[in-house]
Structure 1
Amino acid sequence: MKIVDIRTRCVAIPLNCMLRHNTGVHPGYFLRTIVEVITDEGITGLGEIGGGDQRGAIEKIKSRAIGLDPFHLETIKLRVLRSVYYISNARIYAAIEMACLDIQGKALNRPMSDLLGGKVRDSVPFIGYLFWRYDRPQGGDDSCAEDLADHCEELAETLGVGAMKLKAGVMTPAEEARVLELCRDRLGDDFGLRIDPNGLWTVPTAIRIGQRLGDLGIEYFEDPAWGLEGNAAVRQAVSMPIATNMYPACFDDLGPAIRMGAADIILTDLHYWEGPKGVKDLTAVCRTFRLGVSMHSGVEFGIELAAMLHTAATIPEMTFAGDAHYHYLKDDIIEGGKLQYADGRIAVPTGAGLGVTLDEDKMKFYEKFYEEKGDYYSRFHQDPKRPDWTPTVGGM
């Protein structure tokens, strides 16, 4: 079997609100580049990649994969990722690996999880991801801690989630700490709490807020300050575990992070860590050094969510509920519509490969929607309701 072509399409799907974060605003939709790896035996594998319109990047790299066997992932990685750093990156390779594993599963009539060692769970738990919102479904904007605590209660009731994470760094640190305090009071001691200012806070601020939250029993404090040094400094001064999806977010930084004691928990990500098999490699290192593992969300649609489910299902140590922006999406591009939550969990697809297929009518519809809306990464670090605002690392 040989790869004969790689095709790409950009799609955008609307959200039920606008999501604020410390470097800008998701403007009411998410966008992804969908990758189709085509073989000479008529089997097509699906991949997905974020970070804006990646069609040009894939076009530059695809000649290095054409003619290769989709089962030979080490060769593909050498050709596509390792030797062409100036036009490739882990995100692009991960989408191709995802598609190749989909091809392998379809060829063998086995689910992707079987190619990664076999699943140890049939479904994966997810959190209720809390963002400060503009243009909420019920109208208005989130403006105080009570608004987010209300939203957390809503997600616990409608999705059945047993944990939350606040995307912090938007309001004052004290007001964001109050969100977790309200959620603990309303949802009880067994409900998981997390907070993630994405490295925005200064070390003194992160330590102050971490010490304030110390009695809440939060699951982890994610990227409280900037860089390996920032996270390591906060870790020495607070009682709760420090987690990261930023420092480290690649294998080059993993060794220094472990030597420095920068984190207790690493959030895996299919794109940062070089695909599903790369995540398995990362997990082996975490197992060796007794680090916890969780899973990061990159505003994925159903293709990548399926790959995340297959991967997480094969990792015994992944006992934390995974991140997911999925509940903000109004629709999906896969047949059957959005994957469904049940008691806060999403079932691992059981079909061959990824176990999901594209809905071509939805693809055409959301391709057109993308063309109308455009690639927002050129205006991602802006706030439409605060035109003079600019993100500032260490600004709080």
Structure 2
Amino acid sequence: MKITGTRARCVAIPLSATLRSNTGVHPGYFVRTIIEIMTDEGITGLGEVGGGDQRAAFERLASRIIGHDPYHIGVIKQRTLRNTYFMPNARIYAAIEMALLDIQGKATGRSVSDLLGGSLRQRLPFIGYLFWRYDRPGGGDDADPQDIADHCEELAETLGIRSAKLKAGVMAPEEEAAAMEACRARMGDAFNLRIDPNGTWSVPTAIAIGRRLERINLEWYEDPAWGIEGLNAVRRRVNIPIATNMYPARFDDLGPAIRRDTADLILTDIHYWEGPLGVRDLCNTCRTFGVGVAMHSGTEFGIELAAMLHTASTIPEMVVAGDAHYHYLEDDIIAGGKFAYRDGMIDVPAGPGLGVALDEEKMAKYARLFEEKGDLYDPGLVKFALNGSFC
């Protein structure tokens, strides 16, 4: 089998609210680039990548995979990532690897999780992702800690989730600590809570807030300060497990982070860590050094969520609830519609391959929305982000 062609399309899907973070506010939709890799046997593999319009970046690498065997993932990785120092892109490579595994699974009639060694569990738990929101369903904005607790309770009732994480770094740190306290009071001691300021807080602030939150028994404290040294400084002074998806977020930094005891747990984003096989490599290393792992969210649509589900289901240590922005999406571009939450869990697709197919009507609809709304990262929107409106 040989790769004969590729295609990349951008789509934008609306969200149920506009979500705030330390960099501004999303404008009410997420953008993904959907890639397809075609073969001479009529099998097409699907991949997905975020970060705005990635079509040009993918096209620069596409010529390097034409004519190659989709089973030769190691060869293709060398050609598209390892030996192209002037244009390396782990995010694009990860989408390519998703598509290659999808092709292999479709060709053999096996799921991607089978190709990765087999699923250890058929359903995986996910969190409810808490954001300070503008334009909530039904109107209004999140303005105080009780609004966050209301949202947490709502997600527990509608999705069945038993864990939640607040995207912090938006309000004053004391107010975000109060939001966590309100959630604990509302949800009880058995409910898992996490907070993630995205490295926004100074080390002294992160230590002060962390010490305040010790008494409500957080599951973990994610990226409370900036950099490997910042996380290490907080970890030595706060009695809450430290998690990260920022330091390290690539293999080049994994050794230094482990030597410095930077974190108790690494969140394994498929794109930062070079695809499903890269996530498995990371988890093997973490197992050796006693570092925990969980799945990170990248504002995924259904293709990437399928890849996350297949990958996480094969990793013995990945038993805690994974991140997902997915419940904010109003729709999806996969046939059959959005994945369903049941008791806070999502089923691993049955396969073959990733177990998902494109709904071409939805692809056309949300490609039009992308053209209408524009890229999240175009210069005009970035200007607004710097003015505090959105990013």
TM-score in same-fold range (> 0.5)? yes
* Cross-structure match for 1:69: 69
Partners of 1:294 and 1:319 within 8 A in 2: yes
Partners of 1:25 and 1:382 within 8 A in 2: no
* Structure 1 residue ranges (4+ consecutive) displaced by more than 4 angstroms after TM superposition: 379-384, 388-391
* Cross-structure match for 2:356: 356
The alpha-carbon deviation at position 88 of structure 1 amounts to 3.0
Letter in 2 for 1:278: G
Partners of 2:37 and 2:45 within 8 A in 1: yes
Residue 377 of structure 1 aligns to a residue whose secondary structure is coil
- Structure 1 residues 200, 331: CA separation in 2 closer, same or farther (over 3 Å shift)? same
Letter in 2 for 1:192: N
Cα distance per residue 1:6-42 (max 9 Å; x no partner) = 1100000000110000011111000100000000110
Q: Distance in 2 between matches of 1:373 and 1:347?
A: 32
* Cross-structure match for 2:115: 115
Residue 66 of structure 2 aligns to a residue whose secondary structure is coil
The alpha-carbon deviation at position 376 of structure 1 amounts to 1.3
Cα distance per residue 1:324-380 (max 9 Å; x no partner) = 000000000001000000000000000200000000000011111110000011356
The alpha-carbon deviation at position 388 of structure 1 amounts to 5.7
Partners of 1:45 and 1:100 within 8 A in 2: yes
Q: Distance in 1 between matches of 2:383 and 2:303?
A: 28
Instruction: Calculate the TM-score normalised by the size of structure 2.
Output: 0.98
The alpha-carbon deviation at position 387 of structure 1 amounts to 3.6
Residue 294 of structure 2 aligns to a residue whose secondary structure is strand
Cα distance per residue 1:28-70 (max 9 Å; x no partner) = 0001000000001100000000001011111111111111111
Q: Distance in 2 between matches of 1:186 and 1:172?
A: 21
Q: Which moved more, 1:258-267 or 1:83-92?
A: 83-92
1:93-172 to 2 correspondences below 5 Å: 93-172=93-172
* Cross-structure match for 2:305: 305
The alpha-carbon deviation at position 85 of structure 1 amounts to 2.7
Q: Distance in 2 between matches of 1:388 and 1:145?
A: 21
Q: Distance in 1 between matches of 2:190 and 2:76?
A: 45
Identity of aligned residues (%): 67
- Structure 1 residues 390, 55: CA separation in 2 closer, same or farther (over 3 Å shift)? closer
Partners of 1:26 and 1:380 within 8 A in 2: no
The alpha-carbon deviation at position 218 of structure 1 amounts to 0.7
Residue 270 of structure 2 aligns to a residue whose secondary structure is coil
* Cross-structure match for 1:315: 315
- Structure 1 residues 356, 388: CA separation in 2 closer, same or farther (over 3 Å shift)? closer
Residue 200 of structure 1 aligns to a residue whose secondary structure is coil
Q: Distance in 2 between matches of 1:127 and 1:367?
A: 29
Partners of 2:24 and 2:388 within 8 A in 1: no
Cα distance per residue 1:68-90 (max 9 Å; x no partner) = 11111100000000111322310
Partners of 1:57 and 1:88 within 8 A in 2: no
- Structure 1 residues 238, 358: CA separation in 2 closer, same or farther (over 3 Å shift)? same
Partners of 2:211 and 2:238 within 8 A in 1: yes
Instruction: Calculate the TM-score normalised by the size of structure 1.
Output: 0.96
Q: Distance in 1 between matches of 2:246 and 2:231?
A: 10
Residue 213 of structure 1 aligns to a residue whose secondary structure is helix
* Cross-structure match for 1:394: none
- Give the aligned CA root-mean-square deviation in angstroms: 1.4
Q: Distance in 1 between matches of 2:108 and 2:85?
A: 32
Residue 63 of structure 2 aligns to a residue whose secondary structure is helix
- Structure 1 residues 29, 387: CA separation in 2 closer, same or farther (over 3 Å shift)? same
Q: Distance in 2 between matches of 1:88 and 1:26?
A: 27
Letter in 1 for 2:7: R
Partners of 2:196 and 2:221 within 8 A in 1: yes
The alpha-carbon deviation at position 381 of structure 1 amounts to 5.2
Q: Distance in 2 between matches of 1:81 and 1:228?
A: 25
Partners of 1:25 and 1:381 within 8 A in 2: no
Q: Which moved more, 1:78-87 or 1:47-56?
A: 78-87
Residue 247 of structure 1 aligns to a residue whose secondary structure is coil
Partners of 1:13 and 1:330 within 8 A in 2: yes
The alpha-carbon deviation at position 382 of structure 1 amounts to 6.3
Q: Distance in 1 between matches of 2:387 and 2:3?
A: 47
* Cross-structure match for 1:246: 246
- Structure 1 residues 73, 129: CA separation in 2 closer, same or farther (over 3 Å shift)? same
Q: What is the aligned residue count?
A: 390
The alpha-carbon deviation at position 389 of structure 1 amounts to 7.4
The alpha-carbon deviation at position 113 of structure 1 amounts to 0.1
Letter in 1 for 2:169: G
Cα distance per residue 1:247-269 (max 9 Å; x no partner) = 00000000000001110100001
* Cross-structure match for 1:263: 263
The alpha-carbon deviation at position 138 of structure 1 amounts to 1.7
Gaps of 5+ in 2: none
Q: Distance in 2 between matches of 1:85 and 1:151?
A: 44
Partners of 2:25 and 2:390 within 8 A in 1: no
* Cross-structure match for 1:197: 197
Letter in 2 for 1:350: A
Letter in 2 for 1:27: P
The alpha-carbon deviation at position 180 of structure 1 amounts to 1.0
Letter in 2 for 1:153: E
Q: Distance in 1 between matches of 2:249 and 2:64?
A: 25
The alpha-carbon deviation at position 320 of structure 1 amounts to 1.4
Q: Distance in 2 between matches of 1:285 and 1:233?
A: 23
